[in-house]
Amino acid sequence: MFRLLKKATAVAAAAALLPWLAAPSAAQNWRLNPSYGSVTLNAGFLPDPVRRTVQAGGNIRLNPMSGCPGGGYVANAPDLRLHYRAGGFALSFYVRAPGDTLLLVNDPSASWFCNDDYPGYGLDPGLRFGNPRSGQYDIWVGTYGRNRVRNSTLYITEMGPFSR
């Protein structure tokens, strides 16, 4: 009986956490038009990488449970939308910026991914999809602090440093 009660308590606790786990992405609206436009790429695209200069940050606070340990700040609308046709290559996103930035991506399966500092790259974030899906990727470049970071460059690559 004690084991069953303990299991039921654990299930109830996990169910109570579900709204908190979903909360970070609830404020970001992938249905809005992206601030810096859209890109359509097929596997094997050239030139590689594709670059877009963005202003990182926003007014919406990410919950630390979003996968970015310290949370951060992003805009409501995506910064960039990628329509991608997969084909045997890893797909990576990374940011080079003069400040502490983070990367938030909603993939074609509506799963959310976030990175604050990619190992070995200082304060720059990156995300690598080893077996990417075809479809729409919505991308936010945020900041760790409340400040905005101008001249942040978002890279999309199949051969870049996060693909090796």
The pLDDT of 79-94, averaged and rounded, is 96
> What's the domain count of the chain?
1
Residue range of the domain that includes 148 = 2-157
Q: Is the pLDDT of residue 111 over 70?
A: yes
Query: In angstroms, rounded to a whole number, what is the distance separating the alpha carbons of residues 158 and 138?
Result: 17
The pLDDT of 53-61, averaged and rounded, is 94
- Asked if residue 164 is part of any domain, the answer here is no
Residues 6+ apart with CB under 8 A from 138: 28, 30, 34, 78, 80, 81, 82, 105, 106
β-bridge partners, 135: 84
Residue pair 76/27 in contact (Cβ under 8 Å)? The answer is yes
Residues 6+ apart with CB under 8 A from 121: 94, 161
Chain mean pLDDT for the chain: 82
The CATH code of the domain that includes 61 is: 2.60.120.380
Q: Half-sphere exposure of 49 toward its Cβ, with a 13 Å CA cutoff?
A: 20
Q: 122 pLDDT band (50/70/90 cuts)?
A: confident
User: pLDDT over 70 for what percent of the chain?
Assistant: 78
Question: Would the pTM of this model clear 0.85, i.e. be above it?
Answer: no
- Asked if residue 163 is part of any domain, the answer here is no
Q: Is the pLDDT of residue 2 over 80?
A: no
The pLDDT of 137-142, averaged and rounded, is 97
